[in-house]
């Protein structure tokens, strides 16, 4: 498989961290970001150049634009852009969710995705190639009580992704992707008693990395799931 340049947000934990491991093992270059400087330092030690990792808060457009400018100048437009960074709300009825928690989740899960798209996709469009994957959820296609803010954010990702798919030139793709149910910190926050029954991020990433790398223009505008 030809080596790919992969931009990945939320690279420091959970699914993102597991994908870094698998993509690098398969010979691809990972250009990742996260908010934790300590975790970014760990990634830099574990995965030296050509991989590169940066401290970036996707909520802040100026930080995302500066990161993208550096990446695009050094590596060019990515072959695969994965918007993975996300938050889960503390489970409770919607009317009990503090405005600050709701707003923070939307800033990461929705506005952060839009910030990254604005920063990287113009260069991909100029090349008329590349795949954009926005991590959705089963809770972006169905609902459950006590996770209304998260559901709202992932329904937004579905709509944003499918509309973007209609705007891209031929040869590109945008896909909202339900990763499935994985035993992550996020799932434990929402469903502590049941999370341990599901596979680990590392197990999931072995399948998911190959699935992600298989996506192409033929998948544009499809709401997909990792099987």
C-alpha–C-alpha distance, residues 31 and 9, integer Å = 9
C-alpha–C-alpha distance, residues 70 and 66, integer Å = 6
Which is catalytic among the residues 47, 75, 150, 155? 150
Q: What is the largest CA-CA distance in the chain?
A: 50
Among 168, 170, 195, which residue's Cα sits nearest to residue 183?
195
Residues 6+ apart with CB under 8 A from 77: 5, 120, 123, 124, 126, 127, 129, 130
Specify the DSSP class assigned to residue 170: T
Beta bridge partners of 118: none
Order of all β-strands in the sheet with 29-34: 52-55, 29-34, 5-8, 80-83, 130-135, 172-178, 224-225
Residue 30: which H helix or E strand, with range?
strand 29-34
Residue 198 known to be catalytic = no
Specify the DSSP class assigned to residue 218: G
Within 13 Å of residue 159, how many CA atoms lie on the same side as its CB? 7
Contact 222, 177 (CB under 8 A): no
Among all residues, which ones are annotated catalytic?
150
């Amino acid at each position: 498989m030809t080596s790919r340049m992969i931009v990945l947000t939320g690279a420091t934990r959970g699914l993102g961290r597991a994908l870094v491991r698998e993509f690098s093992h398969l010979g691809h270059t990972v250009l990742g970001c996260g908010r934790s400087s300590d975790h970014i330092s760990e990634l830099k030690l574990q995965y030296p150049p050509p991989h590169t990792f940066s401290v970036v808060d996707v909520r802040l457009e100026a930080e995302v634009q500066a990161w993208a400018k550096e990446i695009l100048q050094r590596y060019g437009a990515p072959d695969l852009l994965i918007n993975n960074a996300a938050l889960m709300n503390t489970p409770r009825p919607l009317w009990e969710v503090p405005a600050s928690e709701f707003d923070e989740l939307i800033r990461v899960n929705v506005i952060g995705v839009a910030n990254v798209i604005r920063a990287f996709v113009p260069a991909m469009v100029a090349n008329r190639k590349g795949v954009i994957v926005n991590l959705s959820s089963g809770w972006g296609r169905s609902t459950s009580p006590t996770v209304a803010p998260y559901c709202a954010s992932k329904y937004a990702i579905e709509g944003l992704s499918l509309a973007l798919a209609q705007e891209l030139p031929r040869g590109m793709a945008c896909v909202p992707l339900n990763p499935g149910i994985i035993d992550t910190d996020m799932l434990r926050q929402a469903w502590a008693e049941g999370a341990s029954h599901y596979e680990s991020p590392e197990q999931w990433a072995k399948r998911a990395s190959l699935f992600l790398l298989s996506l192409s223009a033929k998948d544009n505008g499809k709401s997909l799931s990792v099987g």
